[in-house]
Chain A
Amino acid sequence: MDFWIDDIGWPFIKIFIIANVALMMVALLVWAERRVAALIQDRLGPNRVGPLGLLQPVADVIKLFLKEDLTPGHVNRPFFIIAPALTMMPAIISLAVIPFGASLIIADLDIGILFIFAISSLAVYGITIGGWASNSKYSLLGGIRSTAQMISYEICLGLSVIGVFMLSKSLRLQDVVLMQGDGIWLFGEHYTGIMGKILDWNIFKQPIGFILFMIAGFAETNRTPFDLAEAEQELAAGFHTEFSSMKFALYFLGEYAAMISIGAITVTLYLGGWTFFGLENLGGSFSWLTQILIFAVKLLALQFFFIWVRWTIPRFRYDQLMRLGWQVLLPIGLANILLTGVLKLIFKV
């Protein structure tokens, strides 16, 4: 019976906790997006439903459920229905290998990061198929554009993290977390002072990789300055022009879940994950709560940055986007790997 408890029971509880935290984060993010946008544009933003407008996402969900579920006659029906789900599911499934705490990980796989990349590489189908099945010019163009953009930046995403795994010697994400924050190694010496511990975070050991990962992450999640798929003045709403009700909501949810997923990977790979220089052990047997809080604070800070960028930076042109991806980020990513190799040989970190 151990099988049922260890392999079904515990994962089920963990999935319940993590899925709830993730969905609450999505709701919070939708609210924060509108409030921060309002703040940046010197407006008020949603402030009527609940205190500070915090219940606005709940109201939005109820509204979306009650909207007419319109499937226009010109679409390819089966694909039109499954396409939004195809975009949303990968973002949720990729949360399975992210460590939210010492034991709060649904599946600590030895292929860790590759699992996330493999699963999220399937998210393009939802967008391509959605655009194609809509049988509308804006949708098709938006879908094709978006797919080309996502696959171009997937290479940068893959290249940018290689340096981290040269340091961690393992693709298991829990190993990557544990190797950060316990003091940096230089010339065979272990520096465990507070500076040594802070500098042990991968953001300081892999600054170029971190910046590349963030840029590629913005592109993968189709956020400004890379939101060409839904460039309003050219393509109406791009690939989701024809979608309504919960079909639209699943695309919407998928975008925000992907943002959380990319943010969570960034926190895990570069910002020390659920650790914070010993603070993570506070609370005795409830330390898992402290750990998930540390993780959530780091994640929210990062999401604030995502939102800040979206409402500050204008959109790229398509040729600029492609040039940045192929001609700038790709060689920098390769150079970063070789640089990491050279530095590792010299400093013996």
Chain B
Amino acid sequence: MEPIFHDLLAAGGGHAVAFYACSAVTIAAAILMVMKKNPVASVMWLVLSFIGLAGIYVTLQSYFIAVIQVLVYAGAIMVLFLFVIMLLNLRREDIAKMELPKVPFAGVIAAILFFVSVFLVIKASTPAFEKPVDALLGEPALAGDSVRAIGIPLFSQWLLPFEITSVLLLAAIVGAVALTKKKL
């Protein structure tokens, strides 16, 4: 632990600063995403939140995950969200007319999930909190190439889940076509 802490200091202590800065961006953007009335603005704040999350992955030395976070979530899924929002083109009066009876119910579920996840995080990391937080940041799974570090287990140990993913994607493709085509 001590040598890593030393290395962090050698890097100007910037590592921890970067982690907290990215976290702050992620959380602030997420809060703004929820608070914005205009759904398009919400999408853009969520994109920023994802980019902040990618920054957190970089400080955790998971570069491949970081880049996939931007490529797939910020660059692909959010484009889909934006299209759906523009496609529906809901105006404020439309939203006001909609009956939203499930909101309190959804709120209760969200609150429960929030407290469960907070509980799990605290439970999982209690001993770690006794260390300097910096030491939590950098424990790389595999030194060197972050792409290989993902690839080697993915295509050997987790081969079956990987192949099943293709079936999942196939189902999603069929589902998307079935939903949007008038006549199949």
Interface residues of A (CB under 8 A from B): 2-4, 79, 109-111, 114-115, 117-119, 121-122, 124-125, 128-129, 132, 140, 144, 147, 151, 170-171
State which residues 58-101 of B face A: CB under 8 Å: 63-64, 66-68, 70-71, 74-76, 79, 82-83, 86
Q: How far is the CA of A79 from the CA of B86 in the complex (A)?
A: 14
| Alpha-carbon gap, A171 to B71, bound state (A) | 15
Interface pairs (26), CB distance under 8 Å: A79-B44, A109-B63, A111-B63, A111-B64, A111-B147, A114-B64, A114-B67, A114-B68, A115-B67, A118-B67, A118-B68, A118-B71, A118-B74, A121-B70, A121-B71, A121-B74, A121-B76, A122-B47, A124-B75, A125-B44, A125-B47, A125-B82, A128-B79, A129-B82, A144-B83, A170-B145
Q: Which of B66, B68, B144, B147 has the most CB of A within 10 A?
A: B147
Query: Which residues from chain A contact B82 at a C-beta distance below 8 Å?
Result: 125, 128-129
A111, B14: Cβ atoms closer than 8 Å: no
Which B residues contact A (CB, under 8 angstroms)? 10-12, 14, 40-41, 44, 47, 63-64, 66-68, 70-71, 74-76, 79, 82-83, 86, 144-147
CB distance from A197 to the nearest CB of B (A): 27
Our pick among B11, B63, B64 for the contact of A3 (Cβ within 8 Å) is B11
B63 contacts which chain A residues (CB < 8 A)?
Answer: 109-111
What B residues does A140 contact at CB under 8 A? 86
Contact yes or no, A3 B14, CB < 8 A: yes
- Does B11 contact A110, Cβ atoms closer than 8 Å? no
Complex CA–CA separation, A170 to B176 (angstroms): 35
Q: Which 8 A-B pairs have the closest CB atoms?
A: A121-B75, A118-B70, A118-B71, A3-B12, A114-B67, A111-B67, A118-B67, A111-B63
Using known A-B contacts A110-B145, A170-B145, determine if residue A122 contacts B70 with beta carbons closer than 8 Å. Answer: yes
Complex-state Cα separation, A109 to B54, whole angstroms? 15
Q: Are B14 and A147 in contact (CB under 8 A)?
A: no
Q: How far is the CA of A132 from the CA of B87 in the complex (A)?
A: 11
Bound form: Cα–Cα A171–B82 in Å: 30
Residue of B nearest to A2 (CB): B10
Structural contact, A122 and B12, CB atoms closer than 8 A: no
The reply to whether B70 and A119 contact each other, CB–CB distance below 8 Å, is yes
| Measured CA separation A185–B14 after assembly (Å) | 44
B79 touches A147 (CB 8 A): yes
A110 touches B74 (CB 8 A): no
Q: Which residues of A contact B44 (CB under 8 A)?
A: 79, 125, 129
In the complex where A3-B11, A125-B47 touch, is A118 in contact with B75 (Cβ < 8 A)? yes
Cα A151 to Cα B79 in complex, Å, equals 9
Find chain B residues with CB under 8 A from A3 CB. 10-12, 14
